[in-house]
Amino acid sequence: MTSHYNRIDTPVGPVYLILKGRELAGVSIWQEPQGLKLGQIPGPLAGQFSDYFGGALRTFDYPLAMAAGTDFERKIWLCLLDIPYGQTRSYKWIAERAGRPGASRAAGRALSKNPLPIILPCHRVIESGGGPGGYSPSPDIKRRLLDMEYYYSLHPAKI
């Protein structure tokens, strides 16, 4: 199965979507993937990103190719889907949710390897004290995504 990518422009800058066949295999914020051919992004996937950034989509519903990561990393990534749109949870909460209380730092390392940011919303994870914590692409992007979701959770977009 061949992989390809393409760029979509978003309010946080360019986002590169990496597809393996018809499944979404990766999301890269600001960094163009190397070694892959340029290809088409399926209309429904592009539409979901447009709706998300316009405040009309809370949860993505597109087939994912989750081949990367250890069992622990995948468990951490899937716990992200339990964080409601417009809300945040702590690294400690994620570690506990994954069945590894006390593994907050390991959870943070797993989040830094998330192959599908935005789709698997690691930007919704903050420090226990309320600080923003890290975000691989940029702490500014994390803040912008959180602000956008918080705004749209209070002022839903008209569909």
Active site residues: 122
- Give SS3 for 91: helix
**42 residue type, one letter:** P
**146 residue type, one letter:** L
Contacts for 147 with CB less than 8 Å, ≥ 6 apart: none
- Give SS3 for 48: helix
